[in-house]
């Protein structure tokens, strides 16, 4: 059965430069709007039920933020320590500066084992590197085994949410997809039966795959342990059944001590899906040992940079790397709720995607993303590691429209949205608002000539009546009252 591999041909990467058109299309899709609204409402309610006590939540996330900041402050040392402990445990460590290097490393390992099939646990980093394409190009099937990932791969799509990849699809759509694409599957709208179909197909694959790939949620430097969080058990399958396990992760996922894991893990699952814990927490410290009867003979870890060191180089933007990928920011984002994950055109959608993608993909491709926020702060309020997302959005808006600050290295794509017109507009704005007399004169004119208000005001009047000045400014009303007129 090779349907999945054939279908990956249908996958199209959508350039981020067309972001605005895609969002317009997305918001007018009522079906999409409803399905995201319903799903996000559900996830928000589930999360809220986990944090009934705001003070307790603040204390927990204060600790989690501290752990992440501490880990990042010692990042290079911890990575070297992790490499030492993993190596001592028999796990092979590889480093990749970009997606191509990471994919080449993984293809190389797979070729060494003459692999035909790789089963994949959920890994957003492997989405980021577009590993499945690289494997297909090397003639190796890469099969997603997380149910949601399996569904989107079967349909030739990318995930629309980092935790719930197929959240944009209804069970009816999935029923049709399975009946059409899975050999021998009968049409059913029963979720239990649909999961049963996936289970049966994928169990055959777990048995035959030579390679299992996974992501990593936390890498513990002190013990040399890779931690994976999941509900389905496919992550355990991928990391236990095939003879070779390859884990891939961003360099920021390392923590120093095992005791740093419980606070982060507890917040991760509660923030993500409102669960106190997931079904499985999988702690992998070594390959199969002599006398052991199962587990992979080889375990590899690929540590990926791919722009993370750029975020790290700036003390403010370093906070981006505190992220533990819970997805709460997207669940609570009114923009994400309206447009869904695909419109972003990036691996990581929503608020975290808007602040991490510029480092991963460069500002030339992503400068529109940080503008797609009202800065409402909902993300900031729920982030379990207190990433100041609105501040970072403002910072990136500045970097996209300006040359680097003095003493700062340029970001990739620095100034990609620079515009002479906007420079003039903001210079004019500053000139007006720094000159009180001029400002009052402007107010006087705007109120006296309010009948000249244009009936069409750019995007504003698409769905609103025009902005029209009052008949007198407050300045004038106050002055009039003072003088007793």
- Smallest separation, CB 9 to other proteins (Å): 24
Rule CB under 8 A: say whether 48 interacts with other proteins. no
- Smallest separation, CB 4 to other proteins (Å): 16
**Among 257, 364, 412, 415, interactor with other proteins by CB under 8 A:** 257
Q: Provide φ and ψ at 377, rounded to 5°.
A: 85, 5
Site for other proteins in 100-119 (CB under 8 A): 101
Question: What token pair was written down for 186?
Answer: 């009968």
Rule CB under 8 A: say whether 92 interacts with other proteins. no
Contact 350, 336 (CB under 8 A): yes
Rule CB under 8 A: say whether 399 interacts with other proteins. yes
Rule CB under 8 A: say whether 263 interacts with other proteins. yes
Q: Which is nearer to other proteins, 9 or 56 (CB)?
A: 56
Strands 218-220 and 225-230 come out as antiparallel
Rule CB under 8 A: say whether 285 interacts with other proteins. yes
Sign of the torsion formed by the C-alpha atoms of 171, 176, 181 and 186: positive
Size of the site for other proteins (CB under 8 A): 161
Q: Provide φ and ψ at 249, rounded to 5°.
A: -155, 155
Rule CB under 8 A: say whether 305 interacts with other proteins. yes
Site for other proteins in 110-169 (CB under 8 A): 145-148, 151, 164-167, 169
Q: Where are the alpha helices (DSSP H) in 129-225?
A: 131-137, 147-154, 171-181, 191-208
Rule CB under 8 A: say whether 354 interacts with other proteins. no
Q: Which is nearer to other proteins, 137 or 277 (CB)?
A: 277
- Smallest separation, CB 373 to other proteins (Å): 7
Rule CB under 8 A: say whether 426 interacts with other proteins. yes
* 3-class SS letters over 275-288: CCCCCEEEEECCCC
Q: Which is nearer to other proteins, 9 or 73 (CB)?
A: 73
Residues facing 301 on adjacent strands:
93, 247
Rule CB under 8 A: say whether 475 interacts with other proteins. yes
Q: Which is nearer to other proteins, 7 or 309 (CB)?
A: 309
- Smallest separation, CB 200 to other proteins (Å): 10
Q: Which is nearer to other proteins, 225 or 346 (CB)?
A: 225
Residues facing 214 on adjacent strands:
247
- Smallest separation, CB 129 to other proteins (Å): 14
Site for other proteins in 51-90 (CB under 8 A): 59, 63, 66-67, 69-70, 73, 75-76, 79-80, 89
Angle at 279 between CA 173 and CA 320, to 5 degrees: 80
Nearest to 218 by CA among 317, 354, 90, 71: 71
Q: Which is nearer to other proteins, 352 or 396 (CB)?
A: 396
Total Cβ atoms within 10 A of residue 369: 27
**What gap in Å lies between CA 280 and CA 235, rounded to an integer?**
9
Q: Which region among 129-137, 322-330, 344-352, 375-383 touches other proteins (by CB under 8 A)?
A: 375-383
Nearest to 69 by CA among 358, 387, 310, 389: 387
Rule CB under 8 A: say whether 186 interacts with other proteins. no
DSSP class of 97: S
**Among 3, 9, 24, 34, interactor with other proteins by CB under 8 A:** 24
**Among 207, 424, 441, 452, interactor with other proteins by CB under 8 A:** 207
At residue 354, the 3 state secondary structure works out as: helix
**Among 2, 12, 54, 292, interactor with other proteins by CB under 8 A:** 292
- Smallest separation, CB 193 to other proteins (Å): 9
* 3-class SS letters over 56-69: HHHHHHHHHHHHHH
- Smallest separation, CB 75 to other proteins (Å): 6
End-to-end CA distance of the chain: 87
Rule CB under 8 A: say whether 350 interacts with other proteins. no
**What gap in Å lies between CA 455 and CA 467, rounded to an integer?**
9
Nearest to 245 by CA among 223, 226, 261, 232: 226
Question: What token pair was written down for 322?
Answer: 């505190």
Q: Which residues of 42-80 are buried (b: 16+ CB within 10 A; e: fewer)?
A: ebbeebeebbeeeeebeebbebbbebbeebbeebeebbe
- Smallest separation, CB 480 to other proteins (Å): 10
**What gap in Å lies between CA 381 and CA 384, rounded to an integer?**
9
Contact 118, 135 (CB under 8 A): yes
Q: Which is nearer to other proteins, 136 or 306 (CB)?
A: 306
Q: Which region among 7-15, 107-115, 135-143, 229-237 touches other proteins (by CB under 8 A)?
A: 229-237
Q: Which is nearer to other proteins, 234 or 271 (CB)?
A: 234
**Among 436, 448, 449, 452, interactor with other proteins by CB under 8 A:** 436
Site for other proteins in 309-338 (CB under 8 A): 309, 312-315, 318, 334-335, 338
**Among 45, 49, 137, 191, interactor with other proteins by CB under 8 A:** 191
**What gap in Å lies between CA 290 and CA 24, rounded to an integer?**
59
**What gap in Å lies between CA 214 and CA 246, rounded to an integer?**
6
């Amino acid at each position: 059965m090779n349907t999945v591999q054939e279908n990956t041909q249908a996958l199209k990467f959508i350039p981020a430069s067309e972001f605005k058109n895609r969002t317009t299309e997305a918001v007018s899709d009522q079906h999409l709007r409803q399905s995201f609204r319903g799903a996000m409402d559900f996830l928000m309610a589930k999360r809220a039920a986990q944090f009934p006590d705001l003070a307790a939540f603040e204390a927990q996330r204060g600790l989690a933020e501290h752990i992440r900041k501490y880990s990042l402050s010692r990042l290079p040392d911890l990575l070297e320590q992790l490499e030492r402990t993993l190596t001592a445990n028999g796990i092979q460590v590889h480093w990749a500066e970009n997606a191509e290097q990471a994919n080449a490393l993984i293809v190389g390992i797979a070729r060494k084992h003459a692999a035909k099939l790789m089963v994949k646990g959920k890994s957003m980093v492997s989405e980021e590197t577009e590993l499945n394409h690289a494997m297909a190009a090397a003639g190796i099937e890469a099969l997603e085994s997380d149910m949601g990932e399996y569904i989107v791969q079967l349909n030739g799509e990318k995930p629309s949410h980092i935790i719930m990849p197929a959240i944009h699809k209804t069970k009816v759509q999935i029923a049709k997809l399975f009946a059409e694409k899975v050999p021998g599957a009968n049409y059913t709208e029963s979720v239990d039966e649909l999961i049963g179909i996936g289970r049966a197909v994928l169990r055959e694959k777990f048995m035959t795959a030579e390679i299992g790939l996974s992501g990593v949620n936390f890498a513990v430097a002190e013990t040399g342990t890779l931690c994976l969080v999941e509900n389905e058990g496919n992550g355990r399958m991928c990391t236990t059944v095939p003879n070779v396990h390859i884990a891939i992760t961003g360099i920021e996922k390392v923590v120093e001590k095992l005791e740093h894991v419980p606070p982060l893990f507890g917040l991760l699952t509660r923030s993500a899906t409102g669960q106190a814990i997931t079904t499985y927490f999988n702690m992998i410290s070594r390959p199969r040992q002599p006398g052991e009867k199962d587990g992979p003979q080889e375990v590899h870890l690929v540590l990926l940079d791919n722009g993370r060191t750029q975020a790290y180089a700036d003390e403010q933007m370093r906070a981006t790397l505190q992220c533990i990928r819970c997805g709460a920011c997207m669940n609570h984002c009114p923009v994400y709720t309206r447009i869904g994950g695909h419109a972003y055109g990036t691996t990581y959608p929503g608020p975290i995607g808007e602040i991490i993608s510029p480092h991963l993909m460069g500002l030339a491709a992503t400068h529109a993303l940080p503008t797609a926020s009202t800065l409402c702060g909902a993300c900031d309020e729920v982030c379990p590691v207190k990433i100041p997302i609105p501040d970072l959005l403002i910072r990136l808006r500045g970097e996209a429209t300006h040359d680097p600050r003095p003493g700062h290295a340029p970001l990739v794509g620095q100034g990609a949205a620079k515009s002479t017109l906007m420079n003039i507009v903001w210079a004019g704005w500053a000139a007006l608002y720094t000159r009180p007399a001029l400002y009052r004169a402007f107010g006087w004119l705007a109120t006296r000539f309010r009948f000249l208000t244009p009936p069409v005001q750019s995007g504003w009047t698409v769905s609103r009546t025009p902005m029209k000045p009052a008949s007198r400014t407050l300045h004038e009303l106050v002055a009039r009252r003072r003088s007793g007129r």
